[in-house]
């Protein structure tokens, strides 16, 4: 096949991966090709509304690996690489309108460029996405941000809140076991 010099490796891999991913009823969210500590990694993020599982990732990985070999792409990628296919995870990045709309009502974290060039972090609940504007309800009130000023956005999973909830559930279960133990004596 040979890579075009006008496109990034990510764009060219996306073109090959898209029909493979869609063939499984999945959506291709993002392709990354980067050098990491242990070498080059070609990473694809896939999703669907009901979520993805390990089997979905495995099938896409196997079929994509075959397609890359059949099209001779392996020889065009500089050096050896590791192929990874993954779900976007709990704190997935939001990059497309569809992703913002699907996640209205959920907590997000954004990095926003201020007019003076500083970057600030904004946390809150995604309220709206319309045209080129995102509205988030923060502790200090609503904040509307232009996409042009958005550095990044991702779902925000509150790990502290989840841990508190887990501890609360474990405490209730412990009390329940203790009551059961007293009642059975």
Phi-psi region of 158 (alpha: psi -120 to 50; beta: other; left: phi over 0): beta
Mean pLDDT of 78-85: 85
Residue 151 lies in a domain: yes
Whole-model pTM: value is 0.67
Does one domain contain both 14 and 71? yes
DSSP strands (E only) in the chain: 27-36, 39-47, 81-86, 107-113, 119-130, 133-138, 141-146, 150-155
Last residue of a domain, one of 35, 61, 86: 86
Mean of pLDDT over the chain: 86
Beta-carbon neighbour count of residue 121 at 10 Å? Answer: 11
Return the SS3 of 27. Answer: strand
Edge to edge, the sheet with strand 133-138 lists 141-146, 133-138, 119-130, 107-113, 150-155
Residue 179 lies in a domain: no
Q: Which domain holds residue 117?
A: 97-158
Residue 143 lies in a domain: yes
DSSP 8-state secondary structure symbol assigned to residue 122: E
By residue count, the chain amounts to 185
The H helix count followed by the E strand count for the chain is: 4, 8
Residue 173 lies in a domain: no
Last residue of a domain, one of 32, 60, 86: 86
Residue 171 lies in a domain: no
Residue 126 lies in a domain: yes
Domain count for the chain? 2
Write out pLDDT tens, residues 150-160: 999 999 988 78
Q: What is the CATH number of the domain that holds 123?
A: 2.30.30.520
Residue 135's pLDDT is what?
96
Does one domain contain both 13 and 78? yes
Write out pLDDT tens, residues 122-148: 999 999 999 889 999 999 999 999 999
């Amino acid at each position: 096949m040979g890579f075009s010099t006008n496109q990034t490796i990510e764009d060219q891999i996306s073109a090959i991966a898209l029909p493979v991913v869609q063939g499984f009823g999945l959506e291709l969210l993002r392709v990354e090709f980067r050098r990491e500590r242990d070498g080059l990694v070609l990473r694809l993020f896939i999703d669907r509304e009901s979520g993805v599982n390990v089997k979905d990732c495995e099938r896409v990985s196997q079929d994509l690996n075959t397609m890359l070999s059949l099209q001779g792409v392996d020889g065009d990628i500089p050096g050896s690489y590791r192929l990874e296919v993954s779900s976007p995870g709990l704190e997935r990045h939001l990059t497309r309108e569809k992703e913002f709309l699907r996640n209205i009502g959920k907590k997000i974290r954004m990095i926003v460029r201020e007019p003076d060039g500083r970057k600030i972090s904004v946390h809150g609940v995604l309220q709206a996405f319309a045209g080129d504007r995102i509205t988030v309800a923060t502790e200090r009130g609503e904040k509307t941000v232009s996409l042009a000023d958005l550095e990044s956005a991702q779902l925000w999973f509150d790990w502290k809140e989840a841990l508190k909830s887990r501890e609360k559930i474990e405490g209730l279960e412990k009390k329940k076991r203790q009551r059961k133990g007293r009642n059975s004596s």
